[in-house]
Structure 1
Amino acid sequence: MKKKLFGLLLVFSTFYASAQQIIPYSYNQYQRLNRSLYSLDTRFHTSLKPVIGDDTTITRELDSLLTIGTDQTRNSWVTRKLFNEHLVEINHEDYSVYIDFLPDFQIGKDFSHAITTWNNTRGYQIGGTIGKKFSFYSSGFENQARFNAYLTNYVNTKNIIPGMVNDKYVLVAPRRTTKDWAYATAVLNYTANKYFTFTLGHDKNFIGDGYRSILLSDVSAAYPYFKITTTLGNVKYMVMWAQFQDPLSPQLSFDNGFRKKWGAFHYLDWNVNNRLSLGFFDSVIWQDADEKGKRGFDASYLNPAIFLRTIEGMNNSPDNALLGLTAKYKLFSNGTVYGQLALDEFTAKEVFTGKGYWANKSAYQLGLKGFDAFKVPNLNYLVEFNAARPFTYSSRSSLLNYGNYSEALAHPIGANFREFLTIWNYQLGRWGFYGQGNYAQYGLDQNGVNFGKDINESYDTRNQQYGYHTTGGLKTNFYYLDGRVSYLLNPKYNLRFELGGIIRTEKNSLGTDRTGQITFGLRSTFRNIYQDF
């Protein structure tokens, strides 16, 4: 009895000491909280990620994942550090600090193209709390890798490592098979009281309850931002200002680096009751400076309580505004239906004509997610449909589009697509099982004609006003299967052995590209690295 009581006190003290600990967002990590977050007995704001500071109940639940499979009877320093603890861990009454080495070593084979793939990543993470109000987190990675054929082609085409930064050798050796890059994130959070949380970061953000987001996702590279989150009863309101980079536009000078652009975002999430939540979103993107170096940050977007679309119109509409709605409804005890709607531009009289007006730019999402599928504990599931009309998220130039570092701020496919996907996860002690299947159909540009899939292309390059329908252009079918089996060594930083395999097919009238790959490695961290595009 005394041992059990001591164990409960130890767990509680761990939760309390790290109540403000920042847990970076990863779909695979957060979905394991489905039972708590989407229970009929709870009322959480689940669509704002990562969860930081003010949602102490959720952060405690996330902290509990960091103790899966740990054995407090291990006494030696080596076994404790390998299986139970952070590499360095200091817990004091007034502060806490942890430090970890983050390896990501993989070896694999792209059988379809006879390529031996590998990844050599050495990283770190440092996190902790200062008092009861401050928390911080930082991670950094030095990477070298040889990718499979389709990822290598992606990097060579976009000059960007998916979701991260440019290859160090892109200018001197753009076709080098070995890619080399460095990547870092940092977040500083201050929880002033139960109403206000302030976050300064260089990282990613995500809005939504699904795997994808058509409003704001974690697809593109990390970016600097300042975020204020306010909680009043059943309403949570977020306002954020961020700066993005555009490597595609000509630099003003070498000393200025990549061209910059700004973004302002507002999101209100209202938990109507234990079952229903509604959200309202608006954003605006504007370029930092023109060729003469004018404008920069626009102070008219500073007011956190104003409708951004109105200000954008008052500025004579030079910028790119986006409006959105989100909703979720707990349909049954272990299943929640959710959805999103994004309106980029909208001309009501053109919608119902059926003529395919180019400026009717919109996207939507509908999904179902839950836990304990077929009454199997810890079997989480998700079924999701996403679609975006041609030219959605695009603008007059890449300096104004809804993108960052050559990639989308929303869906990785861009626009002019329909996608169906399903994801299943199962956790059995330290063993983890993951299965994912995607089917998408999209329209590629053909014969030099812009059909609206690539958000980095100017919509001014279109060759007509009407006749644009979703998947128009070179109609392409995309299939993707991903399976993984992992054994968790240390839950504190997700250190695991992982065996994985993917089958990818992209097929249209011009040909078929297939990839079959298997990988094995020692992996860690909680970051999302998307390859399903």
Structure 2
Amino acid sequence: MKYLVTTGALILLASGIFAQEKLPVTLPYNPQNIRELYIDAANHHTAFKPILHVDTSAMYTVTDTTKRSWFHRKLFQEHLLEYRHQDYNVFIDFLPDFQVGKSRDGSRTTWINTRGAIIQGNIGTKFYFESSFFENQGKFPYYLDQYIRKNDIVPGQGGIKDYSEGKAFDFNYANALLSYTPNKYLNVTAGYGQNFIGDGYRSLLLSDITFSYPYLKLTGALGSVQYTAMWAQFMDKHSKTFASAYDDLGYYKKWGVFHFLDWNVSKKLTIGLFDAVIWPDADSSGRKRGFDWSYMNPIIFLRSAEFSEGSSDNALVGANAKFKLFPKTTLYGQLLFDELKVKEVLKGNGWWANKQSWQLGFRTFDLANVKNLDLQGEYNAVRPYTYSYKSTLINYEHYNQSLAHPLGANFQEVLGIATYRYKRWYGRGELMYAMYGDDPDEAANYGHDISKPYTTRVKDYGVYIGQGERTNMLYAQGTIAYVLNPKYNLRIETSLAARRVNNDAGKNTDLIFNIGLRSTFRQFYYDF
């Protein structure tokens, strides 16, 4: 994959250098501004994120004629370093995340010490780039600490090293994006980061909850149709348990190809079709396979290509839809099939290999005519063993995290999120309830942990959501922030979260308080 990304980057750079035209510029939306796409009377393609758009203000703006001190401008208005020109712009920012807090009964002090930096820029109207890097140390609430030690990863942020005599963790991560838009019909993006498919808070098709990965993405638009083909490389951290000569090259790699066809059927209805195939870079004996060039075919629904190769690669298909019920209220949903046999579904006997997931939700904006008061509600369900496979070399996972939902499989979830913005003030409240079937011990496999091979399943029939050790989880969080600088979302933020998990084995409760100085637009998912 590194050859694809490197080649793509060189093409983009060479093309952009000579694109000395005037603005507008194609660049990614600020995630906080995506709400405007749902409110707009036009029907936009909103499912595949990050969303690129043509913007005339975010990159090149008229200088503020009001005299301000350098400190005032840098703290409240501008990027740390700005190089503006009619043909190019470069912005550089320092991205801190300094937090301190308490968890459980107040006996555990938690903290985050992050020093990050980002560079963004455009050359002409067609070429946009950004790159960021973060160096971190942190001590987390008890439930996250357990998760990190078990999975050897901070959720969404990379592998760990012990810090402070094993009481905390040292970790780092980076993201990058190179975008070239030669015309209004095509965009080519090479990146190292995350992608998201869907209109909800969660995605059951492809989520951004994981650590960064390299990818190459082609997006074409014609009329009311947008089509995206993406190739990516993932890592299997479980592979270090295999004994082979391949271990000398690091973790086993696996490859993925994704296609998404998004059709604006009308001003109110959008339907998207999705497919993905995951295949291993090498098998457990160390036999190298590498990138399978037969999957360079950019056409959706590659199951036939996979079958013609005599392959047992992991294929998934699904759909995404949204419907604008009212001007400021949108319904959305997803459906994914990992495996499906209609005959077994009609029998209704809970065959294990009917592996599906589904989502239904709504988003409403300016609730009760209160400007910037938004509400979102969502239901997600995933049957046992969905996203799992015979081996972690080919399951729907990257760096010990699911490529879909953080709860894995064998669960139902209901959540609600309310947000409110007033000038530079921001408030957010979340309430989430989930029921899942956990494994009573490591040897059992009731389909919740997608890293366990489905060949170790407990039974073939009578497989339903909640089987195993039935577990109830309640998570609530409230956040208040004052945005100092909207250019890179620098803010003073405080939050209070409560988490309760109970099953036959007992009950665990966390109360977590945090306060700090934070920045960046990326969201981390700790609500699981």
What stretches of structure 2 of length at least 5 have no aligned partner?
Answer: 1-21
Matched, 1:244 2:234: yes
Instruction: Quote the residue 1:283 is aligned against.
Output: 276
Distance 1:292 1:111, change over 3 A: closer
TM-score for the superposition, normalised by structure 2? 0.92
Distance between the aligned counterparts of 1:407 and 1:331, measured in 2?
A: 34
Matched, 1:155 2:145: no
Instruction: Quote the residue 1:482 is aligned against.
Output: 477
Q: Post-superposition shift, 1:193?
A: 0.7
Amino acid at match of 2:167: T
Distance between the aligned counterparts of 2:110 and 2:224, measured in 1?
A: 49
Distance between the aligned counterparts of 1:20 and 1:278, measured in 2?
A: 25
Asked if the contact 2:301/2:317 (under 8 Å) is kept, the reply is no
Q: Post-superposition shift, 1:296?
A: 1.2
Amino acid at match of 1:42: A
Q: In the TM superposition, what are the counterparts of 1:437-456 in structure 2 within 5 Å?
A: 437-447=431-441, 448-456=443-451
Q: Higher mean Cα deviation, 290-299 or 392-401? A: 290-299
Instruction: Quote the residue 1:12 is aligned against.
Output: none
Q: Post-superposition shift, 1:18?
A: 6.8
Distance between the aligned counterparts of 2:152 and 2:105, measured in 1?
A: 23
Asked if the contact 1:113/1:515 (under 8 Å) is kept, the reply is no
Distance between the aligned counterparts of 2:306 and 2:154, measured in 1?
A: 33
Q: Post-superposition shift, 1:451?
A: 0.4
Which of the numbers 359, 364, 383 marks the counterpart of 1:365? 359
Asked if the contact 1:38/1:370 (under 8 Å) is kept, the reply is no
Matched, 1:118 2:111: yes
Q: In the TM superposition, what are the counterparts of 1:327-366 in structure 2 within 5 Å?
A: 327-366=321-360
> The residue matched to 1:468 in structure 2 has which SS?
coil
Q: Percent same amino acid at aligned positions? A: 49
Distance between the aligned counterparts of 1:117 and 1:18, measured in 2?
A: 44
Instruction: Quote the residue 2:319 is aligned against.
Output: 325
Instruction: Quote the residue 1:139 is aligned against.
Output: 132
Asked if the contact 2:418/2:430 (under 8 Å) is kept, the reply is yes
Instruction: Quote the residue 1:220 is aligned against.
Output: 210
Q: Higher mean Cα deviation, 236-245 or 253-262? A: 253-262
Matched, 1:524 2:512: no
Instruction: Quote the residue 1:7 is aligned against.
Output: none
Matched, 1:471 2:494: no
Matched, 1:90 2:90: no
What stretches of structure 1 of length at least 5 have no aligned partner?
Answer: 1-15
Asked if the contact 1:435/1:484 (under 8 Å) is kept, the reply is yes
Distance between the aligned counterparts of 1:104 and 1:18, measured in 2?
A: 32
Q: Higher mean Cα deviation, 345-354 or 279-288? A: 345-354
Q: Higher mean Cα deviation, 161-170 or 224-233? A: 161-170
Matched, 1:47 2:47: yes
Q: In the TM superposition, what are the counterparts of 1:174-323 in structure 2 within 5 Å?
A: 176-250=166-240, 252-290=245-283, 291-323=285-317
Q: Post-superposition shift, 1:17?
A: 5.0
Instruction: Quote the residue 2:4 is aligned against.
Output: none
Asked if the contact 2:237/2:399 (under 8 Å) is kept, the reply is yes
Distance between the aligned counterparts of 1:532 and 1:204, measured in 2?
A: 18
Matched, 1:19 2:9: no
Distance between the aligned counterparts of 2:349 and 2:65, measured in 1?
A: 66
Q: Post-superposition shift, 1:441?
A: 0.2
Deviations 1:210-258 (A, max 9, x none): 0000000101111000000000011000000000001101364454111
Q: Post-superposition shift, 1:464?
A: 1.7
Distance between the aligned counterparts of 1:339 and 1:410, measured in 2?
A: 14
Instruction: Quote the residue 2:17 is aligned against.
Output: none
Distance between the aligned counterparts of 1:522 and 1:113, measured in 2?
A: 21
Q: Higher mean Cα deviation, 444-453 or 396-405? A: 444-453
> The residue matched to 1:192 in structure 2 has which SS?
strand
Amino acid at match of 1:204: Q
Distance 1:71 1:440, change over 3 A: farther
> The residue matched to 1:42 in structure 2 has which SS?
coil
Distance between the aligned counterparts of 1:433 and 1:18, measured in 2?
A: 32
Distance between the aligned counterparts of 2:515 and 2:272, measured in 1?
A: 40
Q: In the TM superposition, what are the counterparts of 1:405-420 in structure 2 within 5 Å?
A: 405-420=399-414
Instruction: Quote the residue 1:431 is aligned against.
Output: 425
TM-score for the superposition, normalised by structure 1? 0.91
Instruction: Quote the residue 2:123 is aligned against.
Output: 130
Which of the numbers 492, 498, 501 marks the counterpart of 1:503? 498
Amino acid at match of 2:479: R
Distance between the aligned counterparts of 2:78 and 2:24, measured in 1?
A: 14
Asked if the contact 2:380/2:412 (under 8 Å) is kept, the reply is yes
> The residue matched to 2:28 in structure 1 has which SS?
coil
Q: Post-superposition shift, 1:44?
A: 0.6
